[in-house]
Amino acid sequence: MNIHRIDAIILILYVIGMVGIAIYTRNRTKTVEDTLHAGKKGLNGWMSAFAYGTTYFSAVIFIGYAGKFGMQYQMASVWIGIGNALLGSLLAWKIMAKRTKNMTQRLNAKTMPEFFEKRYGSKGLKLTSAVIIFIFLIPYSASVYNGLSNLFEVVFKIDAWIVMVALSVITAIYLFFGGYFATALSDFIQGIIMLIGVVLMVISFCNYDAVNWDFSKLNWFTFSSENKGIYGDTVSLISLILLTSLGVMGLPQTVHKYYSVRDKKAINQGMIVSTLFALIIGFGAYFVGGLYSKYAPMGIFDSNPDNNIPYMLKLVIKPGLLGVIAVLILSASMSTLSSVSLSGASVVAIDIYKGSIDKEASDKKVNVLLRVLCVVFIAISLLLAFLNMKFKLTAIAYLMGLSWGTLSGCFTGPFVVGLISKKVTKTACWWSIISSLVLTCVLIV
């Protein structure tokens, strides 16, 4: 272990703060509505926007994507972050937020599978989508663990398993006791930390001798790349922008944020705030990754692109600020893990158990099951993260891309178009889901 006292104090204070949120919100989860949607009143625009943004951007972005794609595309990778802000936040909120809020209230749908059942009149769609969501959100959450552990292992020499267990325990505590309100409150605090941390990180990297605010020789576009054609850099970069931006419209953990936003005023506020948040975080993360070529001649990297950002942080960031950056990555990881876990647990408790196994189950019983399943989901994803680390199954970017691509492929069309048009049929939804699953299996094999 190689952690400076100041960095350790910053991390300890952060952990105490998260536990404090669990204690403060412990009486806010008396019903399923409380646990899943923070009560009937809903959240204001700022809290909804920060909950959306911190769920969108996890350690996978800062460590996995920024490191891998910064190395591949150089500074052109910042267009991914810009696309995430304009398409994944501004356009998504504009198209979906009000429609999702109104439609789910009218249908009395608490989850995405419930929406499919009541919108298309199909219990089969509900059960199938619930199973898909639970299965594919697990590797998504596992990628969060691996991204964070890479940072702490390289920078602080802390064993990965210690970081993984600590992340899972802290997240499980405030999610179990405080539900979505605790998640949203912690997301707001974590979002502020992320904004401050990203700005400080960008300034630190630009000030370092290897860069010294000179970006003249960096490629901001991929048109001059030698790797051309359908499999070239330009096409693959555009594909990444579309996948990570439009795909978010079909992810249950981000769509969930629209369910809980308070009113039209909060929606408009949330749209603006979430866009600015995504622009700062997305641009900042990929900007740092895009500086890879400036640091490559120094010989600090190994063969694993997931370690690129940790090695750069270790070289550039000083004690004290390093603790802030560590909390930045920890915040991004914790917020995403809590949202994903809540979404994964809700489809089992509400859509599978209440919907198919025990239809007469009381709200209290389902609420207890929901909270317990949040912990179970975190434990399962932790186990997968351990297996991934031990047997080197997949890279961080691939693990997240697999989950993200499958879920967005299955649900973006049926959910988004189902909100906008009455002409979408049950058969079309089945074709969307089946074709996406078949394509996923082909790509894996």
Residue 351's CATH number: 1.20.1730.10
pLDDT tens, 163-172? 889 889 988 9
CA dihedral (443, 239, 136, 186) in degrees, to 10, reads 160
Domain that holds residue 431: 5-444
For the ranges 39-53, 104-118, 143-157, 350-364, the lowest mean pLDDT is seen at 143-157
Q: How many domains does the chain have?
A: 1
Q: What pLDDT does residue 430 have?
A: 94
- How far apart, in Å, are the Cα atoms of 1 and each of 156, 160, 232, 345? 6, 11, 42, 35
Is 26 or 102 the better-scoring residue by pLDDT? Answer: 102
The answer to whether 385 and 164 have CB atoms below 8 angstroms apart is: yes
Buried b vs exposed e over 148-163: b needs ≥16 C-beta within 10 Å? bbbbbbbbbebebbeb
For the ranges 175-179, 220-224, 251-255, 303-307, the lowest mean pLDDT is seen at 220-224
Q: What pLDDT does residue 393 have?
A: 64
360 pLDDT above the threshold of 60: yes
pLDDT tens, 67-97? 889 888 888 999 999 999 999 999 999 999 9
311 pLDDT above the threshold of 60: yes
In the 8-state DSSP scheme, what is residue 43? B
- How far apart, in Å, are the Cα atoms of 383 and each of 142, 168, 170, 190, 388? 8, 11, 16, 25, 9
Q: Tokens for 200? A: 């400080």
DSSP conformation letters of 312-372: HHHHHPPTTHHHHHHHHHHHHHHHHHHHHHHHHHHIIIIIIIIIII-TT--HHHHHHHHHH
